[in-house]
Chains A and B, each alone.
Chain A
Amino acid sequence: MPLNRRTVLLGLAAVGGVSAVNVGAFLGAGGWFTPDTLTTSRFVDRFEQVFGKHDGFRRNHAKGVSAAGVFTSNGAGTALSRAALFQRGTTPVTARFSISGGMPTVADANSTVRGLAVLFHLPDGAQWRTAMVNVPVFTDRVPQGFYERLLATQPVPGTGKPDPAKVAAFLAKYPETARAMAVISKSPPSSGLYNSPFHGLNAFRFTNSAGDTVPVRWTMMPEEPSQPMGAGAAPGKDYLFDALVAKVMQGPVHWRFLITVGEPGDPTNDATTAWPANRRQVEVGTLTIDSLQTEAPGNARDVNFDPTVLPDGIALSDDPLLAARSAVYAQSYQRRTREPHRPSEVQVGQQPSGPRITKVDHEQ
């Protein structure tokens, strides 16, 4: 075919077409043409919409304190998983206590969900990261439910309470959340962070050295007696954290690490449903927290407690929350690491008791 005006124009049109498809596909992969898809950015935007944007802080569990200690394994876990953590011996941990919600200076409240996140530093650079909460089941089965619940339960200006109509519509759409809330209301929170149980809730799979795999969930059970919260005088703004600081100043605080082994038929993809109470539980060792630190560069403040960071011997289940948590935590981490940081509400090392206002007075 000779080169003429027509073939050149056709050729250029073909090149333009291929390039347009190329660039279009790339932008499409980045979510440009699908504004209704729930992307990680949109998920994190929802936290900011509901809780406000607080530079440098986690988009959820924003208020917290860094901790350190060790895990002492009794060796019993090796029957379930070949992860080095379960060999008899000790493993250093970086941890973080938190309360849920995206407001870093919110006042502590009994009903607010409490968190304990742990990073086990295994030999040879391997890690296990887990983030647990004090409630016995999770409120949502699927990520979309969590996303919609954030908005449906947002307090309305004026009443300070969620709009009952929105909540009802939400619960009708996600009945598993209504069932989970009923279960949660039957186990009232303990009097402090130091005597709270913390549950992993999502199911995982453990594989031992023989290659046998079982579904598991886990719980940190406090050694301090779990008293229910007493009705007393109005507590200080950070009373949960202040009591934790006071306790750890007196000496190390311990939790027994319990692994619950699921049986065939137990749901592994539904964190809103507890497994039957008679499931085998294996006590694999003790978590000891012996120091707390104000959130600062290099400590737990800067860790993304992504529950999908697992060592060999522990693997993900089919729970859809796990993949979502990894994606959303990474996006929250991306944003907070790029922003300026302000001091955290919970300050360790000052006199932990007494109303905070006196401390401010001292500083002035």
Chain B
Amino acid sequence: MSSEPTPTTTPSATPAPVRFTRVARLLHWTMAVMVVAILFIGAFMVTSVGDFRFLVTVHEPLGIAILLFVLVRIGWRLTHTPPPLPPGMVRLDRLAAKYSERLLYALLLVQPLIGWAMVSASGEPIVLFGSLYLPHIAPQNITLFADLLRAHIAAAYLLYLTFAAHLAGVLVHTIVIRDRVLDRMAFWRAPGYGSEAPPR
């Protein structure tokens, strides 16, 4: 890995930048809104005497929607090559970007399953909407419920920290280093970012 270019070039000199496919960008931003929303809803609802019940009825279907989205997204990611990172990025940043993205995918897959199993273990019905119920995926057992609740809380805070780090990383690259990493995921017209990453 000694062939990494040293970060001396200015960003505008970067050759032929590519961005994520339209589908990947759409999935990214839809999920970003959903995940930030569910994290804040989760943290608030467990404290709220007045809104807990209503917010649970939002939280559960939203969490299941995230599960469906992340499955589509992982499928898309496996069949499409993402654009290469800006050449000016140092090795540490590349590793951080790579593993924080994998961690995000893993958490987004596991966390809704933990939530689903947790409510199953409590024996409470899970309403998607109206009278459409989800099946239970775990036996009714309070010890299991308690363990899954601990896991749901731990995964939520880890997910939140990973998201906060991901956001800070992108901001450092965009505002401080200015290698236009954000443009890769953007919908605005960014000069030079005409092409999309090709299918694998």
Contacts and interface: CB of A to CB of B under 8 A. Distances in A.
Contacts, number: 118
Interface in A297-354: 297-298, 302-304, 306, 308-309, 311-312, 316, 320, 322-324, 326-328, 330-331, 333-334, 337-338
Given A30-B47, A125-B125, A334-B149, A40 B167 contact: no
B53 A39 contact: no
Interface of A: 3, 7-8, 11-12, 14-15, 18-19, 22-23, 25-26, 29-31, 37-41, 43, 124-127, 143, 297-298, 302-304, 306, 308-309, 311-312, 316, 320, 322-324, 326-328, 330-331, 333-334, 337-338
Nearest to B126: A125
B123 interface: yes
Contact of A22 (B56, B125, B164): B164
B176 A25 contact: no
A338 B47 contact: no
A308 B172 contact: no
Q: What 3 A-B pairs have minimum CB-CB distances, sorted nearest first?
A: A327-B52, A11-B176, A312-B131
A353 to B, nearest CB: 32
B53 A308 contact: yes
Interface in B51-67: 51-54, 56
A41 B131 CA distance: 31
14 contacts: A8-B176, A11-B175, A11-B176, A18-B168, A19-B167, A30-B43, A40-B47, A125-B125, A126-B125, A323-B50, A333-B122, A337-B142, A338-B146, A338-B149
Interface stretch (B76-84, B93-101, B102-110, B132-140): B132-140
Interface of B: 10, 39-40, 43-44, 46-54, 56, 122-125, 130-131, 133, 135-136, 140-143, 145-146, 149-150, 160, 164, 167-168, 171-172, 175-178
B167 A22 contact: yes
Contact of B52 (A12, A15, A330): A330
Contacts of B54: 323
A274 B17 CA distance: 72
B140 A298 contact: yes
Contacts of A14: 171, 175
B123 A303 contact: yes
A284 to B, nearest CB: 20
Contacts of B52: 40, 323, 326-327, 330
Contacts of B56: 326
Contact of A3 (B44, B133, B178): B178
